[in-house]
Chain A
Amino acid sequence: MDIESLLPTLLGLAWLLPLASFVVILFAGPRLGSHGKGAAGVATAAIVGSFVLSLFAFISWVAQHPVRAVEHGEHAEHGAAHASADPAHASADAAHGSTDHADASHASGADHAAGHGTTHAAGHGEAGGHGGLPASYSGDWYTLYEGGRLKLSIGWYVDALTVLMFVMITFIATCIHVYASGYMHDELHDITDHEVHLADGGHLHRPGRFHRFFQALSLFCFSMLGIVIAGNLAMVFIFWELVGICSWFLIGFYYERKSASNAANKAFIVNRIGDFGMLIGLMALWGALGTLHFADATGPDGHVRPGLFTLVRPPVAGHAQWVPDGMVKFAAAEKVERVLLSHADDPRAGVEQVEAKVEDWRDEGYGRWLLLVAGLGIFCGCIGKSAQFPLFVWLPDAMEGPTPVSALVHSATMVAAGVYLTGRFYPVLTPDALLVIAYVGAMTLFIAATIALVANDIKRVLAYSTVSQLGYMMLALGVGGWLAGLFHLVTHAFFKSLLFLCSGSVIHACHTNDMRKMGGLAKAMPWTSGTMLVGCLAIIGAGVPFLDIGLSGYYSKDSILAQALLFARENPSHSILFYAVAGGAMLTAFYMFRLWFMTFAGRPRDHHVHEHAHESPPVMVYPLVALSILAVIAGWTLPGGFGIANMIEQARPAGTGGLELGGLLFSAFTVPAEHSSHAHDIHVTASLTAFATAATGVLLAAAMYVWGIIPPAMVASAVKPLYTFLANRWYFDEIYRFLFVLPVLGISRLVSGTDKGIIDRFIEGVAWGAKQVAGFDAWIDRTLIDGLVNSTASATYGAGIELKKLQTGQLRQYVMFIALGTVAIFVLAGLLFRSSFAG
């Protein structure tokens, strides 16, 4: 089996296995072992299977496309994201790509059993050159709708990023499945839910639903992998919605709790607001371009239909971004119409004339707004899913779900889908869209970090931290750090799921989320506290600047800082983006260590809690250890260049390595090439800044919560208004309630009142007139048509008036009359054809 059919087969199976598990548990759930205990086994087996298949895919990918540092540039051996240090070379590369890569990149695949695949071999060797198309395989499995040139389908787009995401997701999911089989143990028996107060004052007793949990988890894994493997945006949207509903199920797992079902609804509806924007983006692309496929598709007739990537960054333009023909024509529809009409006698000449003019119209700027709308529209979906400002409010509430869900869905995978899609969709985003993304990311990371400073619920701290880190990733993507953002996505997934699982272990032991009741747990829970410390160090990006060694977060955060710094240098008016990143890094360090210190260090604050605390069972501890190992090493680059960063680099979209100018929404600015951020001075400044801010944050946390030099209560009272403001989460929920929820409910009441108060009044008022019309109807029938309809019409009329009589016992006759009357009409008709035949 060659690689282009092997990869979709392996990943396709890895994708479908959790679906199979979902179906099995759906039908056999409670009968799987005692109380459905076997459901965990089924789901875990499926996800382990997916992991193994993904690993095979990973190996075969690496065998085919060896991961190594990009040759040019002397920083290669420093690991991490040091791909190329020569900006001049990079841009030159992008420019001459027009001739080089055009022909090499269209090696269309032969017919495969699975469908019609298309392969893009990278132009410049397999190490993922910049400028050329990345190595990728794509094709369709299944068609949902096809009409004319339009086609919606289920297919795949596999590149290094896809393979990596598969391995990452299935690995974390495996850990979490194992962990959850211990964590959800209570659900194996009847449960008394102490958070639910019944009307009679008691607590709710209910049967456990262990299997339901794993059922939803399996469906989630299927949906999530569907987003990652998707070959087109329509498929992304389909699975986007599906992960949304899985998230709804999982947040609302304890659906008896009002807070849980509220949180579930909030999450879904807020996400739908993002999807509203996403639909607009999809429409803008679909309406003008007629395709949502990422890659070029080879039809059964051998005809190549360009995908979004080629349309927006065509090889003839050296993969530089331009407004595709379809959008130009769409925006210039009036001009198109005029040209065509002037050639009405020779339509073909008219079409040729239009094609000839497209170039001019493009230069005049037609379609630029449309491309921007498309990019921002799709990004709106990502704002919702990745909990960015202003739609981040759902994520903290989503912590109502069981902790393994928070770890898998609401930190490591689903919420990262927005970042993933932004990265995947990157070639289509215009510089203006990127700057919007950067600012959205900056706002998000700052707001969320400030709220995390004062939160006392251990899971909420982590939730806000997740929001903040997602803001980091978005900001990185926005300032041109494509690799930095996605790299951080992967490393963050490992350490954040670790942190959540650790918090789950703590909650499991203490039966509370409130950090004020914890403290001094390190002795009771050595594994948990140790692994959580690793997680905290990873998230703050702990490392040694000059040796360039650190935990995974060190590498990814450094590359974000470096890119933001570079961006700020190139565009001094946007330097606030760099300050946001640097400031955010300090806040992160502070609140993460505040969390760790409050939970594990010092003296126990609540003895009742402390006495019951114990280390979690091995089934929960093993995943912690596995994840903490990855939290340490995930960012490393082996000698020779093998590492996650260089692997992601292989998927770098064509043309995005170069300089790009913006200037539709904002005054002109430059998106610098990411390779330039590896320049020595930038790199050193960035890592020193990272180290300094992180160290400050940790020291401050220690001063307040360990050494007691600065008592937290004193700080809180010193800046009381600010503290209240933050503790109330900037009043976002309240503001949204007044700005959106209440008006919507008001409109809905108004609309419903219009029906009753105005339309119905009117109808009742004209009822008399309508009766006259009914009479007129009967009259027309009698006069114009030879009486056949009479019986029907007069029955109609009579029945309308004489309804009351019906109610008084004559019902039977009336019904019989209608029935027989109707039958009689048709019997008569039947007789008529007989006579006509006879004659």
Chain B
Amino acid sequence: MGIAPTLAVTQPAFWPLTLILFLPAIVAGILALPIIPRGKDDSVRWVGLATTIAVFILSLWMAVPAIFGAGSPGQFAVGDAGMQAVVKQPWIPAFHIEYLLGVDGISMPLVLLTTFLSVLAAAASWPIEKHVRPYWILFLLLETGMIGVFVSLDFFLFYVFWEVMLLPMYFLIGIWGGPRREYAAIKFFLYTLAGSVLMLLAILMLYFASDVRTLSDDQLLATHVVSPVLEGADRAAALTAVHSAPKPIHTFNLLALAAIGQSPASPFAATSFWGMTLESWAFLLLLIGFVIKVPVVPVHTWLPDAHVEAPTPISMILAGVLLKLGGYGILRICYPICPGAGLSFAWLVCGLGVVSMVYGAFAALAQKDFKRMVAYSSVSHMGYVMLGLGVWSAVAGHEYQWDAWAQGVNGAMFQMLAHGISSAGMFFMVGVLYDRVHHRNLEEFGGIFNRMPLYASLAVAIFFAGLGLPGLCGFIGEVLVTLSSWNYSRLLAVCSAFTVILTAAYILWAIQRVYLGAEYKGPHGDHLTPMTRRELAIAVPLVVLAIVFGVAPQLIFNYITPTVNRQVETLAEWTRSIHDGHPAAAGAAAAATDEGSVGFQAAIDSFSVGGGR
């Protein structure tokens, strides 16, 4: 094991990040072996919960150095915009596939959200009695898959984790779900599979069009194509090896792909087929894959069914984390790698967002099933994320105001995290009732406030967070996104503002039907017992976080703003250089030449510099 000390020195984040990523999978593997005897279901549960807690503490150690005293080298530097904690090992050298991980201000909070919600979902999994051991194995695999997607910087690795995550989810819905679980699971599977296939196509397109030889030495180091850990002669040799390669060196490295995609002579923009550039094709294919996950109208119908059938903890994970993967993918992959297409398809991203917001809200209003109502609220709320990501408010020349777009993207990121808290909370609150009375018919509740006062108060607080009430986490993201959209399109801005009315209507109406009123109208009224301690331990942290993030959004912005602002500023600068040269064709990055792009190279460099602390 001679390599361990070397790794610990050169890549201080290797073990922490690898452990965070694989600990759940390793424990899943151990659980699969017959170490814990049959029938000891509780032991399996405790092992599972302990694993999620351990992973959460590890990620907390990494993400919030302030709690654990002074930062050691593997920890995350809050406020640093660049890619940090980069881990790079060759994996399948023949295809330049690497075990390349890293976190920045965009992915770190999402990793923390994932590990946090995993703990809560694990605690919420206690009532699951059927096939306990397989359930926990799949649950832990799912956690590895989700974390893997957020920390992968290699596109292939990203795709592997994307699929790894899909499978357990399929089984978790299909086996532990409600009465129509098979239908829901297959629907989920087909939708996501369709997305995956398209994504794979795009990955291969980009891979084969890429060539890292076009990158400068600085870029090669900054994007970790050549590890900046190397010193002196080793480094020089590695760089020379790249530049003197006789054939193109393709790459799956996301940072390198971004640097290539943003270079003035981007090969992605140079080739085109069927009338569109490769960049546009890749953008659209990836976008479809990601928006299915978000999901946006019209590819959203898997979500209500999946949620309604999925057991409570899986709904929490699904709404809290899985939906964020779509938004994350768009922000991390679509925009930086295909900036030209991002600019020309901004209307599509924004339009899909607004349609989802309005459509989801209307649909939520019509639902009779409590959980379906909450599921549609997710469609509506994730629409804000899409809108925020897309508001590329370009005006040519120096009047370009990147801060409006940055505000949208920051708002979208915040909305993703806030929705992670509030939607997980809402699904849990529905689950608490369902566990007691075994129905979700909105017309057959009522009077819960008097029967379960503590539960009802917490639930109302979480629903208010979903309503976007100031002081709770839902407000900040929504208001930032809405305010930023005006500069992009007045029409979309007005539609997005209109949604606040519908949101208030469906949430308050649901609260009225479930919690208010004089008496409970449905069956099993005698089972409406107060919340247990376990349930409180899940609900209270969610409510507390909803309040904390609503009151002190800076806690989140400290992480995301530096990274988001830099990405947006870079892309804005890129847009400007394209615009000034060729105002007529905003999306025609293909024709971009060097003119008018003074300072452009510097911008590209600054985008990728700062990796690997």
A residues near B (Cβ < 8 Å) are 143-150, 152, 193, 196, 198-199, 204, 206, 234, 237-239, 241-242, 245, 248, 252, 255-258, 261-262, 264-265, 268-269, 272-273, 275-276, 279-280, 282-284, 286-287, 290, 329-330, 333, 336-337, 340-341, 343-344, 347-348, 350-351, 354, 744-745, 747-749, 751-752, 755, 759-760, 763, 767, 770-771, 773-774, 776-777, 780-781, 784-786, 788-789, 792-793, 795-796, 799-800, 803, 806-807, 811-812, 814-816, 818-820, 822-823, 825-826, 829, 832-834, 836-837
What 1/0 flags go to B460-481 for Cβ under 8 Å of A?
Answer: 0000100001110001100110
Whether the pair B486, A284 counts as a contact (CB closer than 8 A) is: yes
Whether the pair A815, B138 counts as a contact (CB closer than 8 A) is: yes
Judge whether B190 is part of the interface by a CB distance below 8 angstroms: yes
Q: Quick one: which of B332-389 are within 8 Å of A by CB?
A: 359, 362-367
CB distance from A192 to the nearest CB of B (A): 12
Whether the pair A789, B160 counts as a contact (CB closer than 8 A) is: yes
CB distance from A779 to the nearest CB of B (A): 11
Please indicate the chain A residues that have their CB under 8 angstroms from the CB of B113 in the complex.
Answer: none
Whether the pair B193, A823 counts as a contact (CB closer than 8 A) is: no
What 1/0 flags go to B167-206 for Cβ under 8 Å of A?
Answer: 1101100110000001001110111011011001100100
CB distance from A237 to the nearest CB of B (A): 8
What 1/0 flags go to B124-166 for Cβ under 8 Å of A?
Answer: 0000000100100110010010000000000000001001101
Please indicate the chain A residues that have their CB under 8 angstroms from the CB of B175 in the complex.
Answer: 806-807, 811
What is the bound-complex CA distance between A350 and B170, given in angstroms? Answer: 57
Given A286-B486, A329-B399, A833-B91, do A800 and B189 touch, yes or no (CB 8 Å)? yes
CB distance from A651 to the nearest CB of B (A): 26
For the A-B complex, the count of residue pairs with Cβ-Cβ distances under 8 Å equals 292
Q: What's the dominant secondary structure at chain B's contact region?
A: helix
Please indicate the chain B residues that have their CB under 8 angstroms from the CB of A330 in the complex.
Answer: 487
Whether the pair A796, B167 counts as a contact (CB closer than 8 A) is: yes
Please indicate the chain A residues that have their CB under 8 angstroms from the CB of B31 in the complex.
Answer: 819
What is the bound-complex CA distance between A255 and B512, given in angstroms? Answer: 8
B residues near A (Cβ < 8 Å) are 3, 22, 25-26, 28-29, 31-32, 89-95, 99, 131, 134, 137-138, 141, 144, 160, 163-164, 166-168, 170-171, 174-175, 182, 185-187, 189-191, 193-194, 196-197, 200-201, 204, 298, 300-301, 304, 359, 362-367, 395-399, 401-404, 406-407, 410, 447, 449-450, 464, 469-471, 475-476, 479-480, 482-483, 485-487, 493-494, 497-498, 500-502, 504-505, 508-509, 512, 516-519, 521, 553-554, 557, 561, 565, 580-581, 583, 596
Interface centre among A196, A257, A823, A825 (most CB of B within 10 A): A823
CB distance from B80 to the nearest CB of A (A): 17
For A278, give the chain B residue with the smallest CB separation: B497
- The list of the 3 closest CB pairs from A to B, nearest first, reads A148-B403, A340-B397, A287-B486
Given contacts A245-B464, A759-B298, A784-B204, 19 further A-B contacts (CB under 8 A): A148-B407, A193-B518, A264-B512, A280-B493, A337-B395, A344-B581, A351-B398, A744-B505, A792-B160, A792-B163, A806-B171, A815-B32, A815-B138, A819-B31, A822-B144, A822-B164, A823-B28, A833-B89, A836-B90
Please indicate the chain B residues that have their CB under 8 angstroms from the CB of A347 in the complex.
Answer: 397-398, 580
For A204, give the chain B residue with the smallest CB separation: B518
Whether the pair A265, B160 counts as a contact (CB closer than 8 A) is: no
Given A283-B486, A795-B167, A819-B32, do A755 and B516 touch, yes or no (CB 8 Å)? no
Q: Which of B22, B197, B493, B505 interacts with A773 by CB under 8 Å?
A: B197
Whether the pair B366, A829 counts as a contact (CB closer than 8 A) is: no
Q: Which of A148, A206, A255, A767 interacts with B190 by CB under 8 Å?
A: A767
What is the bound-complex CA distance between A763 and B516, given in angstroms? Answer: 38
Q: Which of A145, A796, A799, A825 interacts with B160 by CB under 8 Å?
A: A825
Whether the pair A206, B193 counts as a contact (CB closer than 8 A) is: no
Whether the pair B32, A820 counts as a contact (CB closer than 8 A) is: yes
Q: Which of A193, A340, A816 interacts with B399 by CB under 8 Å?
A: A340
Given A747-B362, A759-B301, do A777 and B407 touch, yes or no (CB 8 Å)? no
Whether the pair A751, B191 counts as a contact (CB closer than 8 A) is: no
Given A145-B557, A272-B504, do A340 and B396 touch, yes or no (CB 8 Å)? yes
What is the bound-complex CA distance between A227 and B498, given in angstroms? Answer: 23
Whether the pair A796, B91 counts as a contact (CB closer than 8 A) is: no
Q: Which of B364, B483, B500 interacts with A286 by CB under 8 Å?
A: B483
Whether the pair A261, B450 counts as a contact (CB closer than 8 A) is: no
Whether the pair B476, A145 counts as a contact (CB closer than 8 A) is: yes
Whether the pair B504, A763 counts as a contact (CB closer than 8 A) is: no
Interface centre among B31, B200, B476, B565 (most CB of A within 10 A): B200
What is the bound-complex CA distance between A760 and B89, given in angstroms? Answer: 44
Whether the pair A148, B301 counts as a contact (CB closer than 8 A) is: no
Please indicate the chain A residues that have their CB under 8 angstroms from the CB of B471 in the complex.
Answer: 238, 242
Whether the pair B406, A147 counts as a contact (CB closer than 8 A) is: yes
Q: Which of B90, B182, B300 interacts with A833 by CB under 8 Å?
A: B90
Please indicate the chain A residues that have their CB under 8 angstroms from the CB of B402 in the complex.
Answer: 148
Q: Which of B25, B182, B194, B363 interacts with A748 by CB under 8 Å?
A: B363
What is the bound-complex CA distance between A767 and B194, given in angstroms? Answer: 10
Whether the pair B366, A745 counts as a contact (CB closer than 8 A) is: yes
What is the bound-complex CA distance between A341 and B475, given in angstroms? Answer: 39
What is the bound-complex CA distance between A776 and B253, given in angstroms? Answer: 25
Given A241-B470, A803-B182, do A777 and B197 touch, yes or no (CB 8 Å)? yes
Q: Which of B28, B167, B363, B554 interacts with A799 by CB under 8 Å?
A: B167
Whether the pair B3, A276 counts as a contact (CB closer than 8 A) is: no
Whether the pair B553, A145 counts as a contact (CB closer than 8 A) is: yes
Whether the pair B517, A269 counts as a contact (CB closer than 8 A) is: no
Whether the pair A269, B196 counts as a contact (CB closer than 8 A) is: no
CB distance from B355 to the nearest CB of A (A): 11
What is the bound-complex CA distance between A770 and B501, given in angstroms? Answer: 38
Please indicate the chain B residues that have their CB under 8 angstroms from the CB of A774 in the complex.
Answer: 190, 193, 197
Question: Could you give 19 example pairs across A and B, Cβ below 8 Å?
Answer: A144-B554, A150-B407, A255-B449, A269-B508, A280-B493, A280-B494, A283-B497, A752-B362, A752-B363, A763-B187, A771-B190, A800-B193, A811-B175, A815-B138, A819-B31, A822-B144, A825-B160, A826-B22, A833-B91
Please indicate the chain A residues that have their CB under 8 angstroms from the CB of B516 in the complex.
Answer: 252, 255-256, 261
Whether the pair A280, B497 counts as a contact (CB closer than 8 A) is: yes
Please indicate the chain B residues that have their CB under 8 angstroms from the CB of A262 in the complex.
Answer: 512
Whether the pair B403, A748 counts as a contact (CB closer than 8 A) is: no
Please indicate the chain B residues that have their CB under 8 angstroms from the CB of A255 in the complex.
Answer: 449, 516-517
What is the bound-complex CA distance between A770 and B167, given in angstroms? Answer: 17
Please indicate the chain B residues that have their CB under 8 angstroms from the CB of A820 in the complex.
Answer: 29, 32
Whether the pair A147, B403 counts as a contact (CB closer than 8 A) is: yes
CB distance from B269 to the nearest CB of A (A): 21
Please indicate the chain B residues that have their CB under 8 angstroms from the CB of A282 in the complex.
Answer: 483
Please indicate the chain B residues that have their CB under 8 angstroms from the CB of A759 in the complex.
Answer: 298, 301
Q: Which of A144, A815, A818 interacts with B553 by CB under 8 Å?
A: A144
Whether the pair A748, B517 counts as a contact (CB closer than 8 A) is: no
Given A206-B450, A818-B167, A834-B3, do A745 and B397 touch, yes or no (CB 8 Å)? no
Q: Which of A348, A751, A836 interacts with B362 by CB under 8 Å?
A: A751
For B31, give the chain A residue with the smallest CB separation: A819
For B197, give the chain A residue with the smallest CB separation: A777
Please indicate the chain B residues that have their CB under 8 angstroms from the CB of A284 in the complex.
Answer: 486
Whether the pair A811, B518 counts as a contact (CB closer than 8 A) is: no
Whether the pair A819, B141 counts as a contact (CB closer than 8 A) is: yes
What is the bound-complex CA distance between A284 and B497, given in angstroms? Answer: 12
Whether the pair B470, A799 counts as a contact (CB closer than 8 A) is: no
Please indicate the chain A residues that have their CB under 8 angstroms from the CB of B187 in the complex.
Answer: 763
Whether the pair B365, A748 counts as a contact (CB closer than 8 A) is: yes
Please indicate the chain A residues that have their CB under 8 angstroms from the CB of B479 in the complex.
Answer: 152, 234, 237
What is the bound-complex CA distance between A272 and B508, given in angstroms? Answer: 12
Given A242-B471, A748-B362, A796-B163, do A148 and B406 touch, yes or no (CB 8 Å)? yes
What is the bound-complex CA distance between A709 and B505, given in angstroms? Answer: 50
Please indicate the chain A residues that have their CB under 8 angstroms from the CB of B164 in the complex.
Answer: 792, 822
For A784, give the chain B residue with the smallest CB separation: B204
Whether the pair B28, A819 counts as a contact (CB closer than 8 A) is: yes
Please indicate the chain B residues that have their CB under 8 angstroms from the CB of A836 in the complex.
Answer: 89-90, 93
CB distance from B409 to the nearest CB of A (A): 9
For A753, give the chain B residue with the smallest CB separation: B366
